[in-house]
């Protein structure tokens, strides 16, 4: 495969990222996906009306959007003002947001999440310890602004007999997503949160059937997948994984083997997509060069393969043209450019993103005030 150039367009004259793609039952009109982005503007864990504008701004007809990480239960939170989907009130609050995306022809999946030990007792019911695969504490981490430090309460290791309850929380959350109108769910198995705390051998020090061997460490993730598939159907289920990342002290000694084992195991459930974070994203926000690649996992997984992490237009086009991915998810560029697919189409300049406002709780600032192309012209 030669390297891709701007002139390598398909017969319709479209760049690879803007060609249509059939993902299961969904006819997507292009391949530029909104990556899940925590924005911390859901006061009291309830999605707010300002999210209607935010998500509808980022909707295009036939475009796929993945909603921000959304808690599955009252033990799932670790950050202020992140949304949940375990109460009736939260489900009702999501409905007008989902409706707005559908009204513009978007396909909308909800990312469901449990932070595990990336939390502290202030976020937990009755001030209890966060739950995890382990009781190993996480060392304090500098927050995204580079100044504040997040502190974590040492976690409580889940007993073997408690794990089915957590699997069940994911199952109910998935059902709630469908009730809220979402087209499907993305299970958050990435970035050092609960599922990743089981997957990675740097964290998981269990001696029961959920720890030790690769197969055992993947058991919890696959039980969550199976429960959700049985609840809402495999055609509505995706999962996000970051085998190579060591974010939140969740590294693995053999990320290739982990990624491949998961890709192959997921085939048994016939899920819709696997969304993998590029190895170059060692942390959530910094891109580094590295020799690893997701191609073996892409080849192993039979469904739609989504990649994310440090993509711009050029290398997104290249990934699609070289068949290294079906779809490319964009985080920061989509955050700052509500009309990102259109800007790609017109080869227009992009708005710069402002890290300082990624997580501020403001309903407008750094949220719905990034200009559209028409506004800047
Ligand atoms: C503000 C912000 C919030 C994020 N929130 C989430 C999240 O809720 N769930 C998730 O899986 N990844 C999250 N990420 C990671 C992004 O989805 C994406 O993988 C990352 O930004 C790298 O892609 P990019 O280079 O296109 O931005 C977040 C990243 C940023 C910058």
pLDDT at 300: 98
Q: How far away, in angstroms, is 252 Cα from ligand 1 center?
A: 20
- Which class for 145: exposed (0-12), middle (13-18), buried (19 or more C-beta within 10 A)? exposed
Residues facing residue 304 across a β-bridge:
273
Residue 358 belongs to a domain: no
Q: From atom 23 of ligand 1, which residue's Cα is the shortest distance away?
A: 309
pLDDT at 283: 58
Tokens representing 45?
Answer: 């864990």
Residue 367 belongs to a domain: no
Residue 94 belongs to a domain: yes
Residue 211 belongs to a domain: yes
Q: How far away, in angstroms, is 67 Cα from ligand 1 center?
A: 11
**Ranges of residues in the chain whose predicted pLDDT is under 50:** 1-7
Q: How far away, in angstroms, is 273 Cα from ligand 1 center?
A: 18
Q: 3-class DSSP state for residue 26?
A: strand
pLDDT at 187: 99
> Which residue of 33, 36, 195, 344 sits with most ligand 1 atoms within 8 Å of its CB, as the best mutation to test the pocket?
36
Q: What is the distance between the alpha carbons of residues 5 and 312, in angstroms, rounded to a whole number?
A: 14
Q: From atom 6 of ligand 1, which residue's Cα is the shortest distance away?
A: 37
Residue 286 belongs to a domain: yes
Tell me the residue ranges of DSSP E strands in 114-201: 131-132, 141-142, 149-150, 156-157, 184-189
Range of the domain at 127: 21-346
pLDDT at 288: 65
**For ligand 1, which residues put their CB under 6 angstroms from it?**
35-38, 68-69, 111, 188, 190-191, 240, 277, 281, 284-285, 308-311, 330-333, 358
pLDDT at 7: 45
Domain count, the chain: 1
- Which class for 165: exposed (0-12), middle (13-18), buried (19 or more C-beta within 10 A)? exposed
Strand pairing class (184-189; 156-157): unpaired
pTM above 0.75, yes or no: yes
pLDDT at 149: 85
Q: How far away, in angstroms, is 331 Cα from ligand 1 center?
A: 5
Q: What is the distance between the alpha carbons of residues 123 and 112, in angstroms, rounded to a whole number?
A: 17
pLDDT at 286: 59
Specify the ligand 1 atom closest to the Cα of 68.
8
Q: How far away, in angstroms, is 126 Cα from ligand 1 center?
A: 30
Specify the ligand 1 atom closest to the Cα of 188.
11
Tokens representing 306?
Answer: 């989504």
Q: Are 317 and 339 spatial neighbours (Cβ–Cβ below 8 Å)? A: no
* Inter-CA distances, 97 with 93, 232, 346, Å: 8, 20, 28
Tokens representing 77?
Answer: 């939170």
- CATH number for position 50: 3.20.20.70
pLDDT at 3: 44
What residues have CB less than 8 Å from 105, skipping those under 6 apart? Answer: 59, 60, 61, 62, 63
Q: Which of 133, 74, 135, 62 is nearest to 101 (CA)?
A: 62
Residue 359 belongs to a domain: no
> Which residue of 33, 38, 109, 319 sits with most ligand 1 atoms within 8 Å of its CB, as the best mutation to test the pocket?
38
């Amino acid at each position: 495969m030669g390297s891709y150039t701007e002139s390598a367009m398909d017969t319709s004259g479209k760049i690879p990222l803007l060609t249509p793609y059939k993902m299961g039952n969904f006819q997507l009109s292009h391949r530029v996906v909104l990556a899940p982005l925590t924005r911390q503007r859901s006061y009291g864990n309830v999605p707010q009306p300002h999210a209607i504008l935010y998500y509808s701004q980022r909707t295009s007809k036939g475009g796929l959007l993945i909603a921000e990480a959304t808690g599955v239960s009252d033990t799932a939170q670790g950050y202020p003002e992140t949304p949940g989907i375990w109460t009736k009130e939260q489900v009702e609050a999501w409905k007008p947001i989902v409706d707005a995306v559908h009204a513009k022809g978007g396909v909308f999946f909800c990312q469901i999440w449990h932070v595990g030990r990336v939390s502290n007792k202030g976020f937990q019911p009755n001030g209890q310890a966060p739950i995890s695969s382990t009781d190993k504490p996480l060392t304090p981490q500098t927050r995204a602004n580079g100044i504040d430090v997040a502190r974590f309460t040492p976690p409580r290791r889940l007993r073997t007999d408690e794990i089915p309850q957590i699997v069940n929380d994911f199952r109910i959350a998935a059902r709630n997503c469908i009730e809220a109108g979402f087209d499907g769910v993305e299970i958050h198995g990435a970035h050092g949160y609960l599922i990743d705390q089981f997957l990675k051998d740097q964290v998981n020090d269990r001696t029961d059937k959920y720890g030790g061997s690769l197969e055992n460490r993947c058991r919890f993730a696959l039980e969550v997948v199976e429960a959700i598939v049985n609840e809402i159907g495999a055609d509505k289920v995706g999962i996000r994984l970051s085998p190579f990342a060591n974010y939140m002290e969740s590294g693995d000694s053999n990320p290739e083997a982990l990624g491949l084992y998961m890709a192959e195991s997921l085939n048994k459930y016939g899920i819709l997509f696997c969304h993998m974070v590029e190895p170059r994203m060692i942390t959530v926000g910094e891109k580094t060069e590295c020799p690893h690649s997701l191609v073996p996992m892409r080849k192993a997984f039979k469904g739609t393969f989504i990649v994310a992490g440090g993509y711009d237009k050029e290398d997104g086009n290249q990934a699609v043209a070289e068949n290294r991915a079906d779809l490319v998810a964009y985080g920061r560029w989509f955050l700052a450019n509500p009309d990102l697919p259109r800007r790609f189409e017109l080869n227009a300049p992009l708005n710069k993103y402002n890290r300082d406002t990624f997580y501020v709780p403001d309903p407008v600032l750094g949220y719905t005030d990034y200009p559209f192309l028409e506004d800047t012209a």
